Amino acid sequence: MEENNFSKSIFIKSIVLTVLVTALVTSMVTMIVMNNNESSSLLDKISTKLASIEQIVDKDYLGEIDENKIFDETMKGYVDGLDDEYSQYFTKEELEEYKTDNIEGQFVGIGVYIVQDTEKNAIRVLAPIKGSPAETAGILAGDYIVQVDGVTYTGEQITEATNKMKGQEGTTVKIQVLRGEETLDFEVERKNVRVNPIESNVYDNNIGYIKISSFDQGCSKEFTTKLEELKNKNIESLIIDLRNNGGGIVDEATAIADLFTDKGSTLLITKDKDGNEDITYAESDKAIDVPIIVLTNENTASASEILAGALKDNNVAKIVGTTTFGKGVIQELLTMKDGTGLKLTTNEYYTPNRSKINKVGIEPDENVELPDEYKNVITVPQEQDTQLNRAIELLKNMIYTSKYINFISLIIAIVIFFMLNILFMKTSNISVKNISNYIPKIEFKKEKAVSKVKQEVNDEELEKWYIEIPKINLKAPIENGTDLKLNQKSVTIMYD
């Protein structure tokens, strides 16, 4: 009987212990699952929703299903959901095209820089590429692309519109734009467009000029080559034209800024989502030190603003024109294992003085507007280019002021030289007597002194040397090469 009671007691305790352990394990597992659910709840929701949609589509959809397209569009939808106008998902083919167009600077299309206008949900033309089919057709900066081949596109569909404008060389595409209140239609032939990012020139008064259209790969090297060519032409100042430059590769912009700033100068400050800073410094000494003016307008964006801000904040350049676009965020281009890509906004950048750029822009030191009829034109005749002409005028004044200051400095140096000359003569107990209208010419070599004077004698202008030796009362012309001892110092009188 006692053994049975003992066995029952052990059995009951085992059951209780098992229940307690099970409860503890279940509790721990539940806590882990709940924590994982909190971090992956969005992913779970997406998976659950997609599974439900897939079941319905598989069961009832009448047409054919392209699973690859569904996958790509799903990924694009996720990135589009960030509501960031600059972040973008690329298929493998789109990524290759993007690299060719935006990094190598060559593509087949109509040749326009475009941007998504989030306020109007429209596609805005930053600028047609110089010499491109778009420029030839008459498309202008500031136009809004409404339709491509009869299909209407919004700002959110900028990628689709871009792809539609590309195509086989020699084919045509119809572009409808909105310019103010006017709707215009263009038929543009697709061509192989090669971006020529650097142009140079020399204006009167040895004013150098370099225009950068975009910061494509290798842009900084080409800029350096153009700058060396201008230096060999003895330029005394420089204009850097960044108008209608929509940006490009950040490292190309900072490499150009490095040419004009002192080694160790701050060129760019970037911050990530956690507030961590990364500062880019100039790595080399100045390649040239001349007055510089940077031209900007409302289409100067991104990497262009980085260059303009770096030169302005380091006090090596003045900015003339209008306030820049205000794209102060940087995107990283990531390539996935399957060859697809993700362009993602990861950093916001600031000028060396920590001025905010994004949605603000860089204000010029002197605001100058173009005439209304030329505000959205890429190629402006020089006589109508008020911004360029103002820059030339300012640089002429800077050069004149610099030369005037140098001249005054030279005069001061000459005066100081003569004063020191006279002081030397007095301290050496040598004085020139009975002369008029002379200009001393003194040359010091160790303990030798040379002083050449002119005097009229018997109506003839003769070159003679007069010296007075204290306490000896000697006052007579001194022959060339005569050696005298004055105050126990040997002095040789020499003249030309």
Which residues does the annotation mark as catalytic? 302, 313, 327
Cα separation of 387 and 420, whole Å? 49
3-state secondary structure 386-402: HHHHHHHHHHHHHHHHH
Torsion, Cα 264 265 268 270, to 10 degrees, reads 60
Cβ proximity of 124 and 114 under 8 Å: yes
Cα separation of 235 and 291, whole Å? 10
| Phi, psi torsion values for 196, nearest 5 degrees | -105, 95
For residue 240, give both structure tokens.
Answer: 């850097």
Cβ proximity of 112 and 125 under 8 Å: yes
What are the Cα distances from residue 425, in Å, to 418, 437, 469, 474, 480? 11, 18, 12, 17, 18
For residue 487, give both structure tokens.
Answer: 């105050």
Cα separation of 37 and 43, whole Å? 9
Cβ proximity of 144 and 125 under 8 Å: yes
The 10 Å CB-count burial string (b at 16+, else e) for 180-199 is eeeebebebebbebebebbe
Picking from 494, 495, 432, 440, the residue whose alpha carbon sits closest to that of residue 469 is: 432
Cα separation of 255 and 33, whole Å? 50
